[in-house]
Amino acid sequence: MAILTYSWLLDIFGILTALIAVFIAWAQWSHTYWSRRNLIAPKTTFFLGNSKGIVTQKQSFGDFTVEMYEYIRKHNKPHGGFYLTLMPNYMPVDPEIIKHIMLNDFDHFVDRGIYYNEEVDPLSAHLFSLDGAKWRNLRIKLTPTFTSGKMKMMFDTLVKCSDQLLVEMNQTAGKAPVDAKNILARFTTDIIGSCAFGIECNSLKNPNDEFTQYLKLFFVEGFWQNLNGIITFVAPELAKKLNMKVVNPVLSNFFMKVVEDTVNMRERNNIYRKDFMHLLLQLKNRGELVDDDSILQNNTDAENKEVTLTLNELAAQAFVFFLAGYETSSTTMTFCLYELASNPEIQDKLRAEINEVLQKHGKLTYDAIMEMRYMDKVVNETLRKYPPLPGLNRVCNKEYKVPGTDFVIEKGTKIWIPVLGLHRDPEYFPNPEKFDPERFTEENKRQRHPYTYLPFGEGPRICIGLRFGMMQTKVGLSVLLKNYKFSINSKTKLPLQLDPKSFIMSTEGGIWLDYTRV
């Protein structure tokens, strides 16, 4: 009996050894993909590829993107490859190739390759992650909700939220520093809550409000959350088979209930508000946007049924609108205030423009915001140094020969557009660490390749909420700079270091600013 047991253990050990050997060989072979295809790529670490720092949370995605970009540029190549664990990724660094991928030959690169699962994780199936025909149909439906006319419709609601921002800022003006990201995230939470749902979140009054606490669940950091993110990003098909979720179930249940309650209340009582939910309800009940306000009555016309939004689809779009508006705008305003505090002469010049335009218009209006030309330059330069996403991903959905080369991208290959690398490239932006709004004069913009500046993406998949994000960023900055003068507090760690636990651009330790009333 003992001999049989020992023999069985030896068999198991032999099988495990063989499997480990096969896995090691397969992993090493996987890291020869780019060399087999004669494309330059950095040296790899076993299994982790080039993403060791990301997996161990020692390196931010932004720093990683710049490192890969500079490696390819250093070798004077138009493109190259790298590995996220075992997954090969193609990186174009030539702006003309990037233009072809994002615009000219978009039909080869329609999808982002982002994981979503409509059945087990309905909030993940939003416009940013959808692919193919689903993305096209939804994009067509939603595009009219972000016109300049619709932005004007929401403007007054947005400005009202800035009144409470001043109330909170006034409490500690000249007395204590402010955690810029914290208060601006609460400000954008109130804006999105009001503009998206007609809900008063009161995040500025109460930092521990329900909405803010639940939203934080999406940005929870930790090893398992990081591992979940890597798997869904690198291997979305595997994640789908495992029924993984990118949205915390507690957050998902809360958000779905909020949307369902809001929809039921508005439809029952025929409530009309000038907000994003109003526009989504038009799409849900009519299948299109209409000018009259009586949009809440159900339309049972059979020909409209197939183009309407389901409740889950409506909730998913509201969710991504909430996340994008909450996070990216607050991050942009935070970095902008940091740079203005570091460059007081630029801060004074922008404040002078704000005062001049507001004096002309009498109050903060949509037209006044659009008239602030120097504001445009300052925000654009902020987005150059600190784009919300350091890179943009695509998937090649059919074999593609890269223009000007003999290289063919295989179907299914992941593409990583190095936004931060382009934005920090001294060939396109001399002395890139310097904050210089004059880079965005009309003359300077004409002299650069347009695909060297991509804070919102480009082509058919350009950020649909671009106008809204810019609008709330400019309103926030206008209100703050009109009333306060900012400087750097010693609690801010200098030089700024990107947070390795965050996929989006974020700093370790936060940005703390001193401020006094003007």
Task: Extract the annotated binding site for heme.
Answer: 463
- The tokens of 439 are what? 């880079």
Within 8 A by CB and 6+ apart from 49, the residues are 31, 82, 83, 84, 85, 86, 87
The type of residue at 386 is Y
Burial (CB count within 10 angstroms: exposed 0-12, middle 13-18, buried 19+), residue 396: buried
Q: What are phi and psi of 41, to 5 degrees?
A: -155, 145
Query: Residues 204, 212: contact at Cβ < 8 Å?
Result: no
Return d(Cα 62, Cα 43) in angstroms, integer. 19
Q: What are phi and psi of 514, to 5 degrees?
A: -85, 150
Query: Residues 473, 479: contact at Cβ < 8 Å?
Result: no
Query: Residues 156, 474: contact at Cβ < 8 Å?
Result: no
Return d(Cα 11, Cα 39) in angstroms, integer. 42
Length of the chain counted residue by residue? 518
Query: Residues 484, 162: contact at Cβ < 8 Å?
Result: no
Return d(Cα 500, Cα 96) in angstroms, integer. 30
- The tokens of 374 are what? 């120097």
Residues 301, 302, 303, CA angle at the centre, nearest 5°? 95
Return d(Cα 318, Cα 313) in angstroms, integer. 9
CA neighbor of 178 nearest in space, from 325, 324, 348, 333: 333
- The tokens of 461 are what? 């998949």
Return d(Cα 116, Cα 126) in angstroms, integer. 8
For 301-350, the DSSP string reads: -HHHHTTSPPHHHHHHHHHHHHHHHHHHHHHHHHHHHHHHHH-HHHHHHH
- C-alpha of 435 from chain center: 22
Within 8 A by CB and 6+ apart from 358, the residues are 364, 368, 478, 482
| Helix/strand/coil percentages in the chain, nearest 5 | 55, 10, 35
> Rounded to the nearest 10 degrees, how much is the dihedral formed by the CA atoms of 229, 115, 181, 468?
170
Write out the binding residues: 463
The type of residue at 384 is R
Residues 203, 256, 314, 103, CA torsion sign: positive
Query: Residues 282, 290: contact at Cβ < 8 Å?
Result: yes
